Amino acid sequence: MKKDIYDVIVVGGGHAGIEASSACASMGLKTLLVSMNIDNIGQMSCNPAVGGLGKSQLVKEVDALGGLMGELTDRNCIQYRKLNSSKGPAVQASRVQVDMRRYQKSAQHTLENTKNLDIKQDIVERIIVKGKKACGIKTRIRGEIKAKMVVLTPGTFLHGLLHIGLKHFPGGRLGDASSDKLSDNLTEFGFKIGRFKTGTTPRLDGRTINFNILKPQYPDKEFVPFSSNTTGLKLEQVPCYIAHTTPKTHRIIRDNLDRSPLFSGVITGTGVRYCPSIEDKIVKFPERESHHVFLEPEGLDTNLYYPNGISTSLPYDVQIDMVHSIKGLEDARIVKPGYGIEHDYVDPTQLKVTLETKLIENLFLAGQINGTTGYEEAAAQGFMAGINAALKVKERKPFILNRAQAYIGVLIDDLITKGTKEPYRMFTSRAEYRLILREDNADLRLRKFGYELGLVRKNDYRKFKAREKAIADEMNRLKKVKLKPTRRINKKLGSWKTSLIKEAVSLEYLLKRPEISYDHLRLLDKEAKKVTNEISYQVEINVKYQGYIKRQEKEIERFKRTERIKIPSNLDFSEVPSLSKEIKEKLNRLKPFNLGQASRISGVTPAAISILMVYIKKNYRTRRTNRK
């Protein structure tokens, strides 16, 4: 191999780029990561937290498959909380406040010590394309660098435009230049480009915040790491604080809406509804008298606080007044102003399920360029794009996760099938099989794939197999071990206000009762005492929610039927008889890769799916369907 030819070049060192480059290098490929500013690799441009509903599942899944985000988060955790702990297991989610600077250092340290990975600081100006195939990049300093695959993860940098009040200037993030040539280049290739808007809050000097009158929010007592490789907390744990906006805050904002780029028409990109700016909230919900503001520490060695909830692009002087109108922040000093940012994104329906573009072969896109928001969403895409770029170099079958296997599957399927009209973020309600796709069982769902891909080390996999076996063994044991209706047992049951037993019953039978937990079993059965919490948690969920889990498994079986029927990539939908013109056009544009994906395209009717099924069967007879 020539020395200047890489297998994969990853452009951009954000959360998508980190996972993409690390995955490729770990799979043994000669990989190059190019970043405009290597000191900023792994920066958290928005709030200093990882996880939350829907997002924690993504992080756990990336970790189960051998990605980095879980470990990086655990190592730099300064506050752990489990959200929804009083609700059911499917909607519980870990949320971690991290030390932002340490996180960045950890990420950089990990990448710098990754075998097969080169890191270069440079500005990428073009993708080199020959015959509709990407074969390298052209940078400002080094010129052409060749590669078999290119993964683009430029985040918000494409034609990034920052807004503070009516002032606006180009930039990828406050303090960083935007990347305009690359964006123009994508337009030249014929990609459909859209424009999104997002924003961030002013950063405050912690010494000027009156914490005495604010309500602290402390970490949970129990820490449940994202990564199975994590042994425990490494850093000191600190609280967040909750403040509230006041009627005065709202008045200040209302009085200055004419100087807001959002409401004076300067910003045209579509904003994030679920991460709205404070001016958005005030305008859309005028009846609300107060909004939460979470003061999140940016780290242990810094006084900076991130006031989550007042993302804004109002002018600097208004930001000052607004902050001062909040109780506890009367004297707070703004260190960095809040700002809005508009950026280009590529309509993600132009991607294949591997995140390779349909227009240019060997070019993969991941992260905010695909219209998403959030570190976790970016990491998940970067990871999958990296894996699939690597598999393509190795001429192996692509790695695809479907909606029934992972939130990652839901994320990618939503993006490539439906596209997105606003920055896309994950929610548990997007996953139709969320009872199965829990954060607690991500390893049980996905670890084996990570191992097969070569991303999970043998030793770690062995550890996982032991856990898997322990769970299965304990499930079996609970079925087999019977309790006799002795006076001792019934006395205990009576004290727990559950009905007494008249004949011998299994432990499983008892655990099914809503009022009986595994901890109760520990008081009835000696062996149960030896079972660790990690194992008993799984066992308890499996036993208690068996009925619901079985039901979802049945639904998944139905889902898989259409998912299994592949649509040949060369199929011309206009040749299919009896389909309406509108449906033909839609299908030709989106080129679904299986019948299930086709059925999720809006406007494609069940009848059209039947017709397609028959047509595919007729013209592309496969072995599978004839098998009994």
Partner 1 sequence: MYREDTIAAISTPIGIGAIGVIRLSGGKAIKIADQIFRSKSKRRMSKVPSHTVHIGYITTEEKRSSSKKKDDVIDEVLLTVMRAPNSYTGEDVVEISCHGSMVSLNNILSLILKKGAKAAPPGEFTKRAFLNGRLDLVQAEAVCDIISAKTATSLHIAVNQLNGQLSSRINNIRDKLINILTHIEASLDYPEEDIPSLRKDKVIKEINRISCLVEELLDTSLSGMIFREGLSVAIVGKANVGKSTLLNTLLQDDKAIVTSIAGTTRDIIEEWINIEGVPVKIMDTAGFKGARDEIEDLGIQRSKKAIGNADLILFVIDLSVPLNKDDEDIAEIIAGKRYIVVGNKNDLKGVVKKSNIDKLFPLSPGRYSLVKISALKRRGIKQLQHSIRRLFTGKDRVHTESVLVTNLRHKDALRRAGETLVAAKKSCENNDFYEFVVLELRMSLNSLGEITGEVSNEDILNDIFSKFCVGK
Show the binding pattern over residues 46-65: x = contacts partner 1 (CB under 8 A), - = does not: -x-----xx-----------
Q: In degrees rounded to 5, what are phi and psi of residue 239? A: -85, 165
The least CB distance from residue 421 to partner 1, in Å, is 10
Contact assessment for residue 99 and residue 76, using Cβ atoms and an 8 Å cutoff: yes
What is the spatial order of strands in the sheet that 49-51 belongs to? 49-51, 93-98, 77-83
Instruction: Write the Ramachandran bin of 84: left for phi over 0, alpha for psi from -120 to 50, otherwise beta.
Output: left
* Residue 622 binds partner 1, judged by CB under 8 A: no
Give Cα 107 distance to the centre of its chain. Answer: 17
* Residue 574 binds partner 1, judged by CB under 8 A: no
CB closer to partner 1, 169 vs 285: 285
Strands 117-121 and 31-35: parallel
Q: What is the DSSP string of 594-607?
A: BHHHHHHSTT--HH
Show the binding pattern over residues 501-540: x = contacts partner 1 (CB under 8 A), - = does not: -------------x--------------------------
- Region binding partner 1 by CB under 8 A among candidate stretches 276-284, 321-329, 341-349, 398-406: 276-284
Q: How far is CA 541 from CA 91, 517, 544, 549, in A?
A: 13, 10, 5, 9
* Residue 564 binds partner 1, judged by CB under 8 A: no
The least CB distance from residue 402 to partner 1, in Å, is 16
Among 141, 231, 606, 623, binds partner 1 (CB under 8 A): 606
The least CB distance from residue 114 to partner 1, in Å, is 33
Which residues ranging from 396 to 415 are in contact with partner 1 (CB under 8 A)? none
* Residue 423 binds partner 1, judged by CB under 8 A: no
Beta strands in 53-116 (DSSP E): 77-83, 93-98
Residue indicated by tokens 């992260």:
367
Cα–Cα distance measured from residue 374 to residue 368, given in angstroms and rounded to the nearest whole number = 8
Q: Strand pairing partners for 296?
A: 306
Cα–Cα distance measured from residue 271 to residue 262, given in angstroms and rounded to the nearest whole number = 9
CB closer to partner 1, 476 vs 578: 578
* Residue 578 binds partner 1, judged by CB under 8 A: yes
End-to-end CA distance of the chain: 48
- Region binding partner 1 by CB under 8 A among candidate stretches 82-90, 359-367, 382-390, 487-495: 82-90
* Residue 427 binds partner 1, judged by CB under 8 A: yes
Residue indicated by tokens 């045209």:
268
The token duo for 455 is 């991303």
State the Rg of the chain over Cα. Answer: 26
* Residue 88 binds partner 1, judged by CB under 8 A: yes
Residue indicated by tokens 């809040």:
338
The token duo for 539 is 């066992």
* Residue 602 binds partner 1, judged by CB under 8 A: yes
DSSP state of 352: -
Which residues ranging from 20 to 49 are in contact with partner 1 (CB under 8 A)? 47
The token duo for 319 is 């930001």
Half-sphere exposure of 67 (CA within 13 A, CB side): 34
Number of residues near partner 1 (by CB under 8 A): 57
> Where does 129-201 have alpha helices with state H?
181-189
The least CB distance from residue 30 to partner 1, in Å, is 41
Cα–Cα distance measured from residue 14 to residue 20, given in angstroms and rounded to the nearest whole number = 10
Give Cα 191 distance to the centre of its chain. Answer: 24
The least CB distance from residue 110 to partner 1, in Å, is 29
The token duo for 327 is 């109780």
* Residue 556 binds partner 1, judged by CB under 8 A: no
Among 428, 441, 538, 542, binds partner 1 (CB under 8 A): 428
- Region binding partner 1 by CB under 8 A among candidate stretches 80-88, 120-128, 136-144, 152-160: 80-88
- Region binding partner 1 by CB under 8 A among candidate stretches 187-195, 230-238, 426-434, 481-489: 426-434
Contact assessment for residue 196 and residue 334, using Cβ atoms and an 8 Å cutoff: no
* Residue 476 binds partner 1, judged by CB under 8 A: no
Residues shown for the chain: 628
Among 4, 5, 39, 84, binds partner 1 (CB under 8 A): 84
CB closer to partner 1, 288 vs 529: 288
* Residue 435 binds partner 1, judged by CB under 8 A: yes
CB closer to partner 1, 177 vs 549: 549
Among 213, 500, 523, 607, binds partner 1 (CB under 8 A): 607
The least CB distance from residue 496 to partner 1, in Å, is 17
- Under the rule (CB under 8 A), what is the footprint of partner 1? 47, 53-54, 83-84, 87-88, 90-91, 272-276, 281, 284-285, 288, 291-292, 294, 308-309, 311, 418, 427-430, 432, 434-435, 514, 545, 548, 551-552, 561, 576-579, 602, 605-607, 610-611, 613-615, 617-618, 625-628
